[in-house]
Amino acid sequence: MNNNTEKFNFEHRVANVNDINLHYVIAGSGDPIVLLHGWPQTWYAWKDIIPELSKSHTVIVPDLRGAGLSDKPKTGYDKLTLAQDIHALSEKLGFSQVSLVGHDLGGMVAFTYAAEYPENVKKLVILDVLIPGLGLEQIMDVANGGMWHFGFHMVPDLPEALITGRERLYLDYFFKHVTYNPASIKEEDLAEYVRAYSAPGALRAGFEAYRTLFEDREHTKKYLEKKLNMPILAYGGEISVGDNLRQSLLSVANNVEGGSIPECGHFIPEEKPEFLIKVLNSFFSKA
């Protein structure tokens, strides 16, 4: 384990599931909660959240396929396959039912997991992302003020060619421009993510998660046929997704709460850890 993560007293494990090796962190005991990171991050994004949640729960924090210390195969980055990876991990750990917390791309995976395996999900939390087919396309539309990077990342091969060797410059742009307070992403945090996404195959794997978004949208169409019944908590940062996430989920779920987090951008677990811990503890403590 690299020096930047050794200071955290979490147990690191590797499990072979769905024909790949997934690295994950595990802590605590009790009802299981799975935390799913987004791009350009790894399990490390949850470092401030794990200690508090693990006081009353078993907290499982994987590196998604293609990220961190997990395998980086050429295929399998549609959100259904990523959800199948995590479902297989949950089963391997002996948990027939889990609660899920997903941020960014991890939120897409958490939504897909809940829609694909509703009986296996106790509660669902999605943070600062819109789901393919449920509003994501609007924020991908650059002509109408959408974000440029979606289309760029979806171009085959070109982003890897341009960014390799410039990972720090590229990732630092996002941490500075989509946060309310850029100082919330510390230098050591940036170094950790740059290290992770400078590993062979990591950039390509991350971009493959974008290249499959249209495929993900087709999966969502199937999920519209039946509403989700588990309790759902949905929050977006004030200067990012805001309350649009909660509102977008009302069409596919019966029990959605949440809203917009003041003075917060995209990276909620690192920008507002105290707020997130408070609302997660409250949400998971309800019967």
CB atoms within 10 A of CB 186: 11
Q: Measured between alpha carbons, how far is 79 from 99 in angstroms, rounded to an integer?
A: 17
Instruction: Single out the residue of 152, 103, 153 nearest to residue 130, CA to CA.
Output: 103
Is residue 210 annotated as a catalytic residue, yes or no?
yes
Q: Which of 104, 128, 189, 216 is catalytic?
A: 104
Q: How far is CA 12 from CA 1, 59, 60, 132, 190, in A?
A: 9, 12, 10, 32, 21
Instruction: Print the SS3 string covering 173-235.
Output: HHHHHCCCCHHHCCHHHHHHHHHHHCCCCHHHHHHHHHHCHHHHHHHHHHHCCCCECCCEEEE
Active-site residue, 141 included: no
Q: What angle do CA 74, 176, 205 make, to 5 degrees?
A: 0
Active-site residue (options: 210, 216, 219, 223): 210
Is there a catalytic annotation at residue 63? Answer: no
List, by residue number, the catalytic residues: 104, 210, 266
